[in-house]
């Protein structure tokens, strides 16, 4: 960590301490900001956090001890150094018990400060690296969590748990952005193949010849530009999982080549004769209407039945708005860490706007919307004005909802309108309160999720 | 580059015999004698002299940098002591010889070592006057040194990076 990366906030009401200490630390190459009192510091903390804090214990208004507590609420990893006069050393020692890193007594020995800041910055860096390493390790081995608490998500999790330990071929269907790849990852990491690779091929992104070479590999000189022998994804997925996304875009030739490779569990590289055996578990995904494609003759029926062994159908986000609060919290947490911003919450008005939006791009669109809001937000609460939604497709019921789904959406929107006052909502809906409770239970919705 | 005036009081007149060869390679060095009324900057409680107040009160000399030497113990309010202090990018700096002297730490007087330390300090504060910040190269004269030992470890010249930042 270079010193330029270490940011320091000094909070002290004495000009001389602020100016001298910041000047001295800046000369050493640290990035230093100052605040005259606790309120100014808290105001600044709405916008960003620092690696290191110097807090004067004795300040008019809110003192350093109280400010320390407040900083810890926003930034639990903060390294705080208390500044004290000899007379207040007791208080400083107590602050250490509350998690302060150290304290310094005025006037400071330059040598002490220099060592203290150096060590504190190193500790902060080590902690950061530790967290990152842990995250990476967990990402590698732990199954990704499918976020949400709706009946639908519970069903999806059950389907994943049932099929994961087997070698059964799985097809995941759903609109784009519904998290098909995430489901594939969950199946892979809950399977006995989890220590071998999950190899991903996006079939829609490549031309026929490139895709064939990508899937089956090629020998040197197989075609112009094939300078070296290259292993294909089928070979690379040996002992692991092969995930083919956008399977509906395969051309007739690739369909038949793939079908042969699946049926025989062997294939040859382009331009080669050597028969390659490979053992992979196949997971496919598509947002296309394959049944329609079969009727039109663009998708092979025999391949379809090979893939259609075990289907996981993901429902679009607009049909399960009750999952939105959990997803929103999940993404806030993700970007809060990535952007180092102290945003912890979302106002109710904004959340109910998100729950009423149609999300044509599904979870991916929701994630993008949160990411954008996290970029523009100044305080620590996301508000309605931080979101830009595509209003032209907003509001109104999509026509392909079942009567039950329309009922559920309507009940939820009325409840939202009346701030979850059940009696009032019941009166508007013309049903009694017990019926509302029963319906909510049936949908798997609790009030906390919504407020 | 502008001249460097090294201002010394009578009590330190022996310094006129010291070698400032490295400083002279960097800039034209003039040694002047002048008494400073240090009692103005005495903090009676700390029994030290306020280097910050001194610099604030010292007028700039046109087109030249001045480094004032003293044998008084210098401090700035937040620190127990300082070896020296410079106005960053400014005209004046001050250096105390007291803590550079091995005798201050109960060691035998060593004029040679004191000379070397003083020359490093002069070059370092001059660097600050020219707008250089502390350097992370441990052997560069602009490395921060908060103890006399650290002063001995670093070299007596600007490293390549610092040299490039100096005005031509
Ligand atoms: Zn310095
Ligand atoms: Zn340097």
A313, A342, A369 - which closes a domain: A313
CA of B120 from ligand 2 middle (Å) equals 13
Confidence of residue A396 (pLDDT cuts 50, 70, 90): very low
| pLDDT tops 90 at residue A27 | no
* Same domain for A173 and A132: no
Q: What is the DSSP string of A328-373?
A: HHHHHHHHHHHHT----EE-HHHHHHHHHS--TTHHHHHHHHHHHH
Per-chain mean pLDDT for chain B: 90
Residues 6+ apart with CB under 8 A from A240: A188, A193, A196, A197, A198, A199, A280, A281
Contact at 8 Å (CB) between B79 and B105? no
Stronger pLDDT, A354 or B138, i.e. the higher one: A354
pLDDT at A141 over 70: no
Could you tell me which chain A residue has the CA closest to the CA of B83?
A: A110
Please tell me the least confidently modeled range out of A98-102, A141-145, A188-192, A311-315. Answer: A141-145
Residues A42 and A65 in one domain: yes
How far away is chain B from the Cα of A80, in angstroms, using its nearest Cα? 18
Domain end marker among A270, A285, A313: A313
Chain B residues touching A27 at Cβ < 8 A? 88, 128, 133-134, 144
Q: Are residues A179 and A309 in the same domain?
A: yes
Out of B79, B136, B146, the one facing A107 most closely (by C-beta) is B79
Instruction: Give the mean model confidence (pLDDT) for residues A91-109.
Output: 86
Residue A352 in any domain: the answer is yes
Whether A329 and A425 map to the same domain: the answer is no
A interface with B, Cβ–Cβ below 8 Å: 2-3, 16-17, 20-21, 23-24, 26-29, 106-111, 114
Please name the residue of chain B whose CA is at the shortest distance from the CA of residue A109: B80
Contact of B76 with chain A, judged by CB distance below 8 Å, is answered with yes
Lowest model confidence (mean pLDDT) among A217-226, B17-26, B106-115: A217-226
Q: Which residues form the domain of A404?
A: 391-451
Domains and CATH numbers, chain B: 4-134 (3.40.390.10)
**What percentage of chain B exceeds 90 in pLDDT?**
64
Nearest-Cα residue of chain B relative to residue A85: B78
Residue of A23, A107, A111 lying closest to B146 (CB–CB): A111
Kind and range of the H or E element at A302?
helix A301-307
Residue A342 confidence (pLDDT):
81
CB A22 within 8 A of CB A10: yes
**pLDDT of A450 above 80:** no
Q: Is residue A146 part of a domain?
A: no
Dihedral angle over CA of A380, A383, A387, A391, nearest 10: 170
Q: Are the beta carbons of A271 and A225 closer than 8 angstroms?
A: no
Q: How far is the CA of B137 from the centre of ligand 2 (A)?
A: 6
Catalytic residue (one of B111, B121, B125, B160): B125
Indicate whether A34 belongs to any domain: yes
Report angle CA A52, A58, A64 to the nearest 5 degrees: 40
> Poorest-confidence range of A311-315, A415-419, B11-15, B48-52?
A415-419
pLDDT confidence tier of residue A197, bands split at 50, 70 and 90: confident
Q: Which of A2, A20, A84 to mutate to test the interface with B (most CBs of B within 10 A)?
A: A20
My answer on whether A217 and A282 are in the same domain is yes
A330 and A443: one domain? no
| Ligand 1 centroid from CA B49, angstroms | 18
Phi then psi for A267, rounded to 5 degrees? -165, 175
Q: Which of A41-45, A307-311, A431-435, B92-96 has the lowest mean pLDDT?
A: A431-435
Q: Calculate mean pLDDT across residues A369-391.
A: 86
| A73 domain-assigned | yes
Query: Which residues of A are less than 8 Å from B128 in CB distance?
Result: 27
Distance from CA of A18 to the nearest CA of B (A): 9
In a domain, residue A144? The reply is no
Does residue B128 sit at the A interface (CB-CB below 8 Å)? yes
Which one of A26, A107, A114 has the shortest CB-CB distance to B78?
A107
**Does B82 contact chain A (CB < 8 Å)?**
yes
Q: Which residues have CB under 8 Å from B87's CB, separation 6+?
A: B55, B93, B128, B129
The DSSP H or E segment spanning A52 is strand A52-56
Whether A40 maps to a domain, the answer reads yes
Mean pLDDT check: name the lowest of A384-388, A403-407, B19-23: A403-407
By three-state DSSP, how is residue A402 classified? Answer: coil
Q: Are A318 and A174 in contact (CB under 8 A)?
A: no
Alpha-carbon distance of A359 to A353, in angstroms, equals: 11
**Which pLDDT band, with edges at 50, 70 and 90, does A37 fall under?**
very high
Domain at A330, CATH number: 1.10.8.60
CATH of the domain at A39: 3.40.50.2300
* Shared-domain flag, residues A355 and A261: no
Asked, for residue A68, whether it belongs to a domain, the answer is yes
B28 in contact with A, Cβ within 8 Å: no
Same domain as A353, residue A236: no
Mean pLDDT of A131-149: 77
Distance from CA of A367 to the nearest CA of B (A): 42
Token pair 């900083």 is found at: A71
Q: Which two tokens stand for residue A395?
A: 């509001």
CB contact under 8 A, A20 and B75: no
Report yes or no on A419 lying in a domain: yes
Average pLDDT for residues A1-16, to the nearest whole number? 83
Q: Which residue has the tokens 């560069």?
A: B140
Does the beta-carbon distance from A28 to B134 stay under 8 Å? yes
SS3 of A259-290? HHHHHHCEEECECCCCEEECCCEEEEEECCCH
Nearest residue, CB atoms, A106 vs list B78, B128, B136:
B78
Angle at A288 between CA A287 and CA A289, to 5 degrees: 125
- Interchain contact, A16 vs B77, CB within 8 Å: yes
pLDDT of residue A107: 87
CA of residue B108 to ligand 2 center, whole Å:
31
What pLDDT shows up at residue A4? 64
**Is B111 an active-site residue?**
no
Q: What is the per-residue pLDDT for A5? A: 74
Q: What is the mean pLDDT of residues A277-304?
A: 93
- Mean pLDDT, range A208-212, rounded to an integer: 89
Please tell me whether residues A164 and A292 are part of one structural domain.
yes
Q: Nearest CB to A107: which of B75, B134, B136?
A: B75
CATH number of the domain where residue A409 is located: 1.10.10.60
Provide mean pLDDT across the span A391-413. Answer: 62
Of A389, A417, A439, which closes a domain?
A389
Q: Identify the CATH number of the domain in which residue A232 sits.
A: 3.40.50.300
**Closest Cα partner for A409 from A435, A370, A445?**
A445
Distance CA A424, CA A417 (A): 10
For residue B100, report the distance from its CA to the centre of ligand 2, in Å: 21
Instruction: Answer yes or no: do A209 and A273 share one domain.
Output: yes
Neighboring chain B residues of A28 at a CB cutoff of 8 Å: 133-134, 144
- Going by pLDDT thresholds of 50, 70 and 90, the confidence category of residue B69 is very high
Q: What average pLDDT score do residues A4-14 get? A: 89
CB contact under 8 A, A110 and B146: yes
Residues of chain A with C-beta less than 8 angstroms from the C-beta of B76: 20
Number of folded domains in chain A? 4
H/E run at residue B33:
strand B29-33
Indicate if the pLDDT at residue A62 is higher than 90. yes
- Shared-domain flag, residues A100 and A199: no
**Residue B66 in contact with residue A10, Cβ under 8 Å?**
no
Q: Which of A188, A86, A106 is nearest to A140 (CA)?
A: A188
Q: Chain A contact for B33, CB < 8 A?
A: no
Contact between residue A90 and residue A58 where contact means Cβ atoms under 8 Å apart: no
pLDDT at A393 (0 to 100): 40
Distance CA A58, CA A44 (A): 20
Q: What is the pLDDT of residues A178-190, one digit of tens each?
A: 999 999 999 999 9
Residues A240 and A301 in one domain: yes
The answer to whether residues B58 and B92 touch, using CB atoms and an 8 Å cutoff, is: yes
CB pairs under 8 A between A and B: 50
Q: Supply the angle between the helices A208-216 and A252-264 in degrees, to the nearest 10.
A: 10
Contact (CB<8Å) A106/B52 = no
Name which residue leads in pLDDT, A131 or A169: A169
Residue A394 has a pLDDT of: 40
Taking the centre of ligand 2 as the mean of its atom positions, its distance from the CA of residue B153, in whole angstroms, is 14
Query: How many angstroms separate the CA atoms of A448 and A258, rounded?
Result: 48
What per-residue string of b and e applies to A204-215 under the rule 16 or more CB within 10 Å gives b? Answer: eebeeeebbbbb
Q: Residue A124's pLDDT band (boundaries 50, 70, 90)?
A: confident
Closest-CA residue of B relative to A115 is: B146
Res. B152 pLDDT band, cuts 50 70 90: very high
Could you tell me the CA-to-CA distances from A369 to A181, A324, A380, A386, A413 in Å, in that order?
Answer: 20, 12, 17, 9, 21
- Model confidence at A401, pLDDT cuts 50, 70, 90, reads low
pLDDT value for B117: 95
Q: How far apart are the C-alpha atoms of A390 and A359, rounded to whole Å?
A: 9
Contact A51, A26 (CB under 8 A): no
Condensed to tens digits (0 to 9), the pLDDT of residues B102-139 reads 999 888 989 999 999 999 999 999 999 998 988 888 88
Largest CA distance in chain B: 44
């Amino acid at each position: 960590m270079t010193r330029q990366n270490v940011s320091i906030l000094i909070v002290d009401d004495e000009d001389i301490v602020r100016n001298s200490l910041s000047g001295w630390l800046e000369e050493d190459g640290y990035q230093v900001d100052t605040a005259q009192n606790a309120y100014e510091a808290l105001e600044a903390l709405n916008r960003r956090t620092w690696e290191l804090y110097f807090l004067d214990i004795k300040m008019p208004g809110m003192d350093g001890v109280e400010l320390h507590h407040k900083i810890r609420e926003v930034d639990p990893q903060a390294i705080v150094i208390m500044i004290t006069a000899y007379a207040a050393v007791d208080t400083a020692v107590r602050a250490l018990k509350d998690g302060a890193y150290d304290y310094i007594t005025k006037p400071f020995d330059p040598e002490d400060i220099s060592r203290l800041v150096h060590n504190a910055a190193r500790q902060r860096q080590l902690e950061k690296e530790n967290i990152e390493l842990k995250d990476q390790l967990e990402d590698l081995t732990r199954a990704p969590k499918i976020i949400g608490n709706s009946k639908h998500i519970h069903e999806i999790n059950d389907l994943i748990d049932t099929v994961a330990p087997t070698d059964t071929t799985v097809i995941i269907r759903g609109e784009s952005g519904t998290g098909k790849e995430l489901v594939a990852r969950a199946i892979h990491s809950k399977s006995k193949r989890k220590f071998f690779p999950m190899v991903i091929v996006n079939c829609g992104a490549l031309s026929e010849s490139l895709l064939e070479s990508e899937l089956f590999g090629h020998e040197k000189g197989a075609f112009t530009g094939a300078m070296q022998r290259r292993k294909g994804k089928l070979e690379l997925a040996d002992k692991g999982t092969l995930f083919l996304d956008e399977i509906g875009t395969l051309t007739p030739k690739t369909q038949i080549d793939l079908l042969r490779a699946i049926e025989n569990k062997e294939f040859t590289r382009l331009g080669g004769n050597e028969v390659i055996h490979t053992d992979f578990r196949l997971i496919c995904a598509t947002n296309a209407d394959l049944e329609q494609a079969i009727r039109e003759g663009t998708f092979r029926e025999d391949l379809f039945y090979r893939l259609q062994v075990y289907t996981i159908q993901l429902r679009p986000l607009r049909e399960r708005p009750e999952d939105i609060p959990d997803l929103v919290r999940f993404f806030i947490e993700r970007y809060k860490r990535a952007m180092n911003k102290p945003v912890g919450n979302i106002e109710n008005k904004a959340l109910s706007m998100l729950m009423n939006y149609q999300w044509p791009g599904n979870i991916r669109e929701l994630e993008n919307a949160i990411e954008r809001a996290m970029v523009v937000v100044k305080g620590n609460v996301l508000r309605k004005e931080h979101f830009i939604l595509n209003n032209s497709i907003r509001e109104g019921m999509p026509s392909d909802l079942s009567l039950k789904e329309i009922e559920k959406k309507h009940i939820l929107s009325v409840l939202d309108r009346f701030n979850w006052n059940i009696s009032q909502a019941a009166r508007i809906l013309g049903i009694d309160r017990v019926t509302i409770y029963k319906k909510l239970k049936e949908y798997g919705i609790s009030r906390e999720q919504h407020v | 580059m502008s001249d460097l005036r090294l201002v010394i009081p009578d009590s330190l007149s022996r310094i006129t015999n010291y070698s400032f060869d490295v400083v002279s390679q960097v800039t034209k060095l003039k040694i002047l004698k002048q008494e400073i009324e240090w009692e103005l900057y005495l903090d009676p409680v700390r029994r030290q002299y306020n280097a910050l107040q001194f610099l604030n009160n010292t007028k700039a000399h046109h087109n030249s940098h001045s480094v004032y030497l003293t044998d008084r113990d210098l401090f700035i309010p937040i620190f127990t002591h300082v070896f020296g202090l410079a106005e960053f990018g400014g005209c004046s700096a001050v250096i105390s010889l007291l803590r550079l002297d091995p005798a201050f730490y109960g060691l035998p007087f060593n004029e040679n070592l004191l000379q070397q330390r003083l020359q490093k300090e002069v070059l370092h504060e001059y660097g600050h006057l020219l707008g250089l910040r502390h350097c992370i190269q441990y052997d560069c004269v602009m490395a921060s040194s908060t103890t006399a030992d650290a002063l001995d470890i670093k070299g007596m010249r600007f490293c390549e990076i610092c040299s490039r930042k100096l005005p031509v």
